[in-house]
Amino acid sequence: MRSRRVDAAAWGYFFLVSLWLTWPLLPRMTTALSSSPDSLLNAWALGWSFHILPRDPLSLFDANIFFPRPDTLAYSEHLFGIILLVWPIFAVTGNVPLAYNVAVLSSFALSGIGMYLLVREITGCRWAALASGTIFLAAPYRFGHVLQLQLLTLQWFPFVFWSALRFLREGRSRQLAGIAVFSLLQALSCNYYMVYLSLAVILFGLVLAVYGREHLSRRKVVLLSLGAASVTALCLPFLLPYARNRERGFYRRYEDVVYYSASARDYFTPSRFNRPPYARWLPSQTRSERALLPGLGAFALALVGVFVGRGRDRLFWLFCIVLSATAVVLSLGPELRWGDAVLPLPYRFFYRHLPGFDSIRVPARISVLALFGIAVLAGLGAAALVSRWKTPFAIGLLGLLLFEYRTYSLESTFPEAPAASTAQLWLAQEKAKGAVLVLPIYEGQEIIHESLAMYQSMAHFQPLVNGYSGWWPNDYWELVGRLRHFPTARSLRFLLERAPVRYIVVHYDRMPELRRRELERGMERYRESMPVVFRRGDEAVYEIRKPGDPS
């Protein structure tokens, strides 16, 4: 009974640390949402899934952006694992920002709890488990990606291996079910992490086959194989739309993969997203993708764990060393440049030959596996130290970790969600049916601004010509170029041929004054075939009417 109370107190600790590190998210749970394009994209993806799954689940991937193209949800992350977690919140409240923020906050707390359970199972030391959970919860990597919900959702990794360790020790069916459920939640929350989890499981299987055969039996091998096959089969429907888009040309360019690779220096450079006491004397890492230092405290504990951890659990000790080393090497990307020389690295083979890796733009993100391994090794090191210096040392250790992981204020990270568009609300109130084009439509790097139109389209979820995502088809840029001087007879004809549109929503306040005057004059010329049906301030809705349509 006492052990349960201690575990409950530990879980409460992780929730309190999560609230502290993400403050002021808690008092803004129902209203906060960053206007960053990735946050709006992910909020829209949640909203689309909440909308379509009860109505037409088979149309999940045919989302309402980039109309009339299919499989547009698969231009980025589908977030289905996150949707399963927060669906009850949305079902009760109908509040997308609240569901989004519950997912954010729970990703922190559950990361700590999952690592606590794993390290407690490995070491039997709850103080060591608290230290490992703190490292996995609060590492700078998380705060570099606090606006990217899918990358925050790494909490299921430790739950998978906690269930696996218990199954190897006890062989119960519920533990096998835990492996499958947590693997599905992780794989279906982020495509990057699906690939990384697969790699981690393969490495664990290899280490187990060589150094942990005493844990295996024919029954366990058969059950684990059946479980892996079941997880793969359940993931397959979510992979097929991405495979179809791959045939349409969706892959990551080799040059981009090289650019977004890590360097060895990134693992020793403090992140600007945290306030460690040593940051004032060292150069800081300003690129979120390369904020890979897990903390000097974590490094020190992990180093102790490397030297003394073998005696506590040889299997996980070796697995975490192999996993961390593999992740660091792969995070360096496909090549290493030394002056004019180019040294090919193992990631080049992965990119060219292994499924999934050619759709990954940022090799540096595989560092999450190194973070996982370092957190476990740190737990092994902490367990050895706590057994010698007891509780006062353990309390001081947690205090030092928390001091190192302090963050800057996240006040600007969690502002009020963008306001609804009155024009989009009017379309919803009128129950308008038909595709929508929002002007201005953005070109080049400015496409990030389309995320706001997507977010505001949640008012009605009618097909939207505009779009922003992790990838976009080449013919979309042709459409955007043709609409540069809309409306003209040629651009209108091209639009209706490529993307039959019924309504045009115009935000006049979002365009330069010269373009605004040009567009207003053009819409006035076409007032017979495109009458204004709604106007409030700088927002207007025009309806394209074909001959024979009722006035």
Three-state DSSP state, 339: coil
Q: Are residues 448 and 357 in the same domain?
A: no
Q: Is residue 271 in a domain? A: yes
Q: Is residue 495 in a domain? A: yes
Q: Is residue 483 in a domain? A: yes
Q: Is residue 166 in a domain? A: yes
Q: Is residue 505 in a domain? A: yes
Q: Is residue 317 in a domain? A: yes
pLDDT at 236: 97
pLDDT band of residue 550 (cuts 50, 70, 90) is low
Residue 101 Cα distances to 22, 34, 86, 89, 147, angstroms:
11, 11, 9, 10, 11
* Cα 353 from Cα 337, distance rounded (Å): 22
Please count the other Cβ atoms lying within 10 Å of the Cβ belonging to residue 325: 12
pLDDT band of residue 275 (cuts 50, 70, 90) is confident
pLDDT at 330: 97
Q: Are residues 430 and 364 in the same domain?
A: no
pLDDT band of residue 549 (cuts 50, 70, 90) is low
Domain boundary among 345, 378, 404: 404
Could you tell me which of 145, 138, 404, 146 has the C-alpha nearest to residue 275? 404
- With pLDDT > 70 as the criterion, what percentage of the chain qualifies? 99
Both structure tokens of 222: 């058969």
**Which of the 8 DSSP states describes residue 214?**
G
Three-state DSSP state, 517: helix
381: alpha, beta or left? (left if phi > 0; alpha if psi -120 to 50): alpha
3-state per-residue secondary structure call for 462-520: CCECCCCCCCCCHHHHHHHHHHHHCCCHHHHHHHHHHCCCCEEEEEHHHCCHHHHHHHH
pLDDT band of residue 547 (cuts 50, 70, 90) is low
Q: Are residues 232 and 153 in the same domain?
A: yes
Q: Are residues 111 and 214 in the same domain?
A: yes
End-to-end Cα separation, the chain, in angstroms: 74
Mean pLDDT of the 270-292 span:
76
pLDDT band of residue 55 (cuts 50, 70, 90) is very high
Tens digit of each residue's pLDDT (9 = 90 or more) over 63-119: 999 999 999 999 999 999 999 999 999 999 999 999 999 999 999 999 999 999 999
pLDDT at 348: 95
Both structure tokens of 437: 């084009």
Q: Are residues 438 and 358 in the same domain?
A: no
pLDDT at 545: 86
With contact defined as beta carbons under 8 Å apart, do 461 and 48 qualify? yes
Q: Are residues 429 and 539 in the same domain?
A: yes
Q: Are residues 363 and 469 in the same domain?
A: no
Could you tell me which of 315, 352, 319, 119 has the C-alpha nearest to residue 202? 319
Tens digit of each residue's pLDDT (9 = 90 or more) over 429-466: 999 999 999 999 999 889 999 999 999 999 999 999 99
Tell me which of 211-215, 437-441, 523-527, 532-536 is least confident.
211-215
Q: Is residue 43 in a domain? A: no
Question: Mean pLDDT over all residues of the chain?
Answer: 93
Q: Are residues 109 and 235 in the same domain?
A: yes
CB-side neighbour CA atoms (13 Å) of 266: 23
CB-side neighbour CA atoms (13 Å) of 145: 24
Tens digit of each residue's pLDDT (9 = 90 or more) over 354-395: 888 988 999 999 999 999 999 999 999 999 999 888 889 899
Q: Are residues 300 and 449 in the same domain?
A: no
Q: Are residues 247 and 368 in the same domain?
A: yes
Tens digit of each residue's pLDDT (9 = 90 or more) over 295-326: 999 999 999 999 998 888 899 999 999 999 99
Residue 191 Cα distances to 198, 255, 456, angstroms:
11, 21, 26
Tens digit of each residue's pLDDT (9 = 90 or more) over 199-246: 999 999 999 999 888 889 999 999 999 999 999 999 999 999 999 999
Three-state DSSP state, 388: helix
Range of the domain at 224: 2-30+77-251+260-404
Both structure tokens of 356: 């999934």
Pairing of strands 532-536, 503-507: unpaired
The answer on pLDDT for 509 being more than 70 is yes
Domain boundary among 349, 369, 404: 404
Mean pLDDT of the 2-15 span:
91
Q: Is residue 516 in a domain? A: yes
With contact defined as beta carbons under 8 Å apart, do 203 and 322 qualify? yes
Tens digit of each residue's pLDDT (9 = 90 or more) over 121-132: 999 999 999 999
- For residue 275, the Cα-to-chain-centroid distance in whole angstroms is 24
Q: Are residues 464 and 330 in the same domain?
A: no
**Which of the 8 DSSP states describes residue 548?**
T
* Total number of domains constituting the chain: 2
Both structure tokens of 390: 């007891």
pTM of the model: 0.94
CB-side neighbour CA atoms (13 Å) of 111: 26
With contact defined as beta carbons under 8 Å apart, do 18 and 109 qualify? yes
Domain boundary among 373, 404, 435: 404
* Cα 488 from Cα 503, distance rounded (Å): 16
pLDDT at 411: 85
* Cα 96 from Cα 102, distance rounded (Å): 10
pLDDT at 271: 79
Q: Are residues 88 and 143 in the same domain?
A: yes
- For residue 99, the Cα-to-chain-centroid distance in whole angstroms is 15
The answer on pLDDT for 548 being more than 70 is no
